[in-house]
């Protein structure tokens, strides 16, 4: 496997226009909480017709990236501490690191045997070393397959971007490559303050959400030396509808995310030996719409919250209770509750450095609205598969609920689960999951 990929070179790509001298970007309280994590994303593409000699696609993408980076100065800068000891970005045109590689076979052949270890070779990442002013916060890897196909890997420190920002950047890069122009510009501005006139005088602070963050910040980072594996399952439209029906406890019924989150919460609790009740689980949700932010907002806007649920010995009832618990916590995360959290973090989180929000609970992240299949670098050729990772995975494990291609139906979803190797094997054998017959896209 180590010989499947040949790394050709690592270079720095800079923007075509210099940034304004003396420009800096500060980070929000939601940004700073994600410092210990990084994102790794891989998009797979077929290449149309005669793709030409190896390196041709890479050269085209490298040139369009240089054009695009003019609009993303936060990506080409470097980390620096401010007078308060917090990280900020100094915009100095230091550039983005690009790794160019080639792989044996075709992209279709690669996908028939891909696993976590193999896939992560397509997305380069370096941990920050002792000189952050030299360290690139974003990395791009372009891997061309000798017999056709392309993989685009993007990685970054989570301090700068969440999965929605990263996807927005990839869309902008695709537009720049395909039509020579970026259709949706990014916006770099702070999280909004609470407007005094808009505050409900009867509103009570959302203490459950604040307490969840307080508890996560104060607890030490867990450590695990178990080797991890990732399972990717494709649920077709009718499979998700069946799961929703089985999870329904009232006439309104759960959403696709609520049903799938409940399904994996119940199954992972069982395989980890819970005989009564469920493991602790947190959901991770994008709050851009809740906070009335523009879709081009560039920064972390995903919020974690603990789900509370009763206990039941009946599997079907447990699934319904779990889905109900997920739905209730989502409903509570309104603009007032999120502003309660932001204000509390601004007043209380400065003394804590480097917490991890995915440290102790099972985490289930709602990434259904990222729209990765709209990222087309070549006319008519969207990605044939995408993978997202939020690393490292601490604690119990991680579940990411992603969209499927539109052709699979509006309710179809892809679920990526990261657990220990032996737990992934057990999860594949779970009778409740097998009941819905999802296709295994990646195992191991």
Residue 198 has pLDDT above 60, yes or no: no
- Please provide the average confidence, as pLDDT, over all residues in the chain: 91
- How many CB atoms are closer than 10 A to CB 312? 17
Boundaries of every domain in the chain: 5-179, 207-368+395-442
* pLDDT tens per residue across span 331-361: 999 999 999 999 999 988 665 556 777 778 9
Instruction: Give the tokens for residue 100.
Output: 């160019």
* pTM recorded for the entire structure: 0.94
Is the pLDDT reported for residue 235 higher than 60? yes
Q: Supply the pLDDT for residue 225.
A: 76
pLDDT at 33: 92
Alpha-carbon distance values, 426 to 116, 225, 335 (Å): 17, 19, 40
pLDDT of 386 strictly over 80: yes
Q: How many CB atoms lie within 10 A of CB 232?
A: 24
pLDDT, tens only, 402-437: 999 999 999 999 999 999 999 999 999 999 999 999
Per-residue CA distances from 398 to 145, 225, 299, 358, 415 (Å): 30, 16, 22, 8, 10
Work out the pLDDT band at 216, boundaries 50, 70, 90: confident
Q: Which fold has domain 207-368+395-442?
A: Chloramphenicol Acetyltransferase (3.30.559)
CB 301, CB 164: distance < 8 Å:
yes
Q: Would you say residue 366 has pLDDT above 70?
A: yes
Q: Examine the pLDDT at 1 and tell me if it is beyond 50.
A: no
Residue 413: φ, ψ to 5°: -145, 155
84 band by pLDDT with thresholds 50, 70 and 90: confident
Contact 303, 384 (CB under 8 A): no
pLDDT bin (cut points 50, 70, 90) of residue 328 is: very high
Domains 5-179 and 207-368+395-442 share a fold: yes
Question: How far, in Å, CA of 67 to CA of 308, rounded?
Answer: 48
Are 240 and 256 within 8 A, CB to CB? Answer: yes
5-179 belongs to CATH 1.10.730.10: no
Rounded Cα distance, 39 and 37, in Å: 7
């Amino acid at each position: 496997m180590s010989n499947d990929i040949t790394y050709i070179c690592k270079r720095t790509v800079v923007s075509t226009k210099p940034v304004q001298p003396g420009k800096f970007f500060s980070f929000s309280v939601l940004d700073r909480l994600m410092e210990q994590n990084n994102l790794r994303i891989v998009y797979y593409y077929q290449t149309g017709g005669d793709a030409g000699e190896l390196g041709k696609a890479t050269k085209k993408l490298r040139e369009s990236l240089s054009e695009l980076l003019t609009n993303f100065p936060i990506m080409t800068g470097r980390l620096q501490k401010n007078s308060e000891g917090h990280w900020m970005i100094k915009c100095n045109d230091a550039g983005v690191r690009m790794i160019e590689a080639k792989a044996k076979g075709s992209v279709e052949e690669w996908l028939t045997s891909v696993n976590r270890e193999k896939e992560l070779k397509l997305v380069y990442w370096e941990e920050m070393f002792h000189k952050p002013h030299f360290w690139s916060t974003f990395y791009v890897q372009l891997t061309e397959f000798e017999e056709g196909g392309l993989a685009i890997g993007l990685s970054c420190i989570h301090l700068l971007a969440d999965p929605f920002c990263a996807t927005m950047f990839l869309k902008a890069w695709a537009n720049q490559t395909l039509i020579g122009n970026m259709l949706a510009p990014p916006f770099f501005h702070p999280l909004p303050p609470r407007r005094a006139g808009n505050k409900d005088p009867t509103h009570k602070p959302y203490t459950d959400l604040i307490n969840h963050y307080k508890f996560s910040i104060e607890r030490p980072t867990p450590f695990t030396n178990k080797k991890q594996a990732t399972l990717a399952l494709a649920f077709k439209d009718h499979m998700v509808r069946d799961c929703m029906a089985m999870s329904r406890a009232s006439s309104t019924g759960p959403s696709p995310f609520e049903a799938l989150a409940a399904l994996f919460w119940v199954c992972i609790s069982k395989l980890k030996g819970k005989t009564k009740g469920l493991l602790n689980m947190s959901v991770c949700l994008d709050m851009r719409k809740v906070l009335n932010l523009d879709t081009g907002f560039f920064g972390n806007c995903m919020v974690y919250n603990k789900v509370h649920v009763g206990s039941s010995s009946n599997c079907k009832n447990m699934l319904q209770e779990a889905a109900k618990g997920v739905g209730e916590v989502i409903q509570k995360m309104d603009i007032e509750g999120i502003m309660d959290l932001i204000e509390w973090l601004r007043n209380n989180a400065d003394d804590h450095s480097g917490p991890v929000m995915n440290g102790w609970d099972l985490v289930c992240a709602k990434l259904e609205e990222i729209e990765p299949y709209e990222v087309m670098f070549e006319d008519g050729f969207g990605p044939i598969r995408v993978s997202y990772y939020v690393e490292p995975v601490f604690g119990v494990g991680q579940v990411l609920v992603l969209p499927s291609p539109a052709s699979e139906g509006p309710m179809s979803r892809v679920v990526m689960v990261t657990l220990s190797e032996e737990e992934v094997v057990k999860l594949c054998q779970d009778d409740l999951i097998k009941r819905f017959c999802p296709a295994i896209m990646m195992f191991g």
